[in-house]
Amino acid sequence: MSFVITAYVREGIVMAADSRLSLNSQQVTGSSVTNLIAVGQSDSNQKLFVTKSGVGISTVGDADIKGVPIAGLIEQFVDQIIADNQWSPEKVADEIIIYFNAQPIIPNTQFHISGYDHNTNEQQVFHAVIKTSTKNKVNPKDQFGVTWAGEGDVVARILNPSAEIDPLNGNSIKIVYPNIPIPFNFFTLQDAIDFSVYAVRTTIDTIRFQPRPKSVGGPIDVLVIKPNEVKWIKKKELNA
């Protein structure tokens, strides 16, 4: 899996993603077969992309289709399908569903697709699911917040109400912790960047200490989208 997050605030949109590629595999020793779950293969995988028309695309889920990396297919989609078009985020969401449903195997993959409609200047954030061929616009008009996909349980525990269970008293609720909402309506663009990096970093650091697959990790890529500007805040670079 992976973890991607998109924050949509009044000044613009921030998209962030981790970089870990993890693979499920089998180890065969004689007649014994051991399933190896989410073995870390690389910390340089690309999960966040941007089109020439300023639409951001992030992905979680299956890492390949019949051995062809998802990242390469997304780059092909961006370069060959929409390189010269002024498609809105909604149009990109529709077309990416069609594109991946036309592959030899339909992947269990989800996308965040975000940006601005160039005709209306409307801020659009979509969550697209390939298997079900569905897309949902997650940002109501004039409402601001965050949405995430992938290994989201860590962030969900931080943002949602929580309570402590008393195991000595029939697992009854011992204490309900106060739920203090985060005022996303008042976030600046810098606040949105800081929160997005915090969410990915906290997920990586928490998973590190838990006895679970280390499926989120590596450098954090961050993309900012404004009505008339798209800018990488952090992006992996090739180096020797």
Instruction: Summarize pLDDT for 30-84 with one digit per residue, the tens.
Output: 776 565 566 667 899 999 999 988 999 999 999 889 888 899 999 999 988 776 6
State residue 217's pLDDT score: 95
**Which residues fall within 8 angstroms of residue 207, CB to CB, at 6 or more apart?**
151, 154, 214, 215, 216, 217
Q: Evaluate whether 112 touches 15 at the Cβ level (below 8 Å).
A: yes
Distance of alpha carbon 215 from alpha carbon 222, whole angstroms? 19
| Beta-bridge mates of residue 39 | 23
Among 42-51, 125-134, 162-171, the minimum mean pLDDT is found in: 162-171
Cα 210–chain centre separation? 21
Q: Residue 51: its pLDDT value, please?
A: 93
Mean of pLDDT values over 1-13: 95
Q: What per-residue confidence (pLDDT) applies to 99? A: 96
State the residue range of the domain holding 228.
3-234
- Residue 208 falls inside a structural domain: yes
Measured in whole angstroms, the distance separating CA 134 from the mean position of its chain's CA atoms is 16
pLDDT of residue 207: 96
Question: For position 172, what pLDDT does the model report?
Answer: 87
Burial of 129 (C-beta count, 10 Å sphere; 0-12/13-18/19+): middle
- Does any domain span residue 228? yes
Q: Is residue 26 assigned to a domain?
A: yes
The H-or-E segment that residue 96 falls in is: helix 89-101
The pLDDT value given to residue 26:
54
Distance CA(64)–CA(62), nearest Å, equals 6
Domain presence at residue 179:
yes
Q: Give the pair of three-digit tokens for residue 230.
A: 């798209």
Q: Please check whether residue 76 lies inside any domain of the structure.
A: yes
Q: What is the pLDDT of residues 168-210, one digit of tens each?
A: 888 888 888 888 999 999 999 999 999 999 999 999 999 999 9
Domain count, the chain: 1
| % of the chain surpassing 70 pLDDT | 93
User: Are residues 56 and 113 in contact, defined by beta-carbon separation less than 8 angstroms?
Assistant: yes
Q: Which residues contact 196 (CB under 8 A, 6 or more apart)?
A: 5, 6, 7, 14, 15, 16, 146, 222
Q: What is the pLDDT of residue 56?
A: 97
pLDDT at 34: 62
Q: Is residue 239 part of a domain?
A: no
Instruction: Report if residue 240 sits inside a domain.
Output: no
| CATH, residue 104 | 3.60.20.10
Dist CA 81 CA 103 (whole Å): 14
How many other C-beta atoms are found inside a 10 Å radius of the C-beta of residue 90?
17
Max intra-chain CA distance, the chain: 64
Which of 22-31, 77-86, 141-150 has the largest mean confidence? Answer: 141-150
Q: Which of 177, 151, 157 is nearest to 5 (CA)?
A: 151
17 falls within a domain? yes
**pLDDT value for 33:** 59
- What is the reported pTM? 0.90
CB atoms within 10 A of CB 98: 11
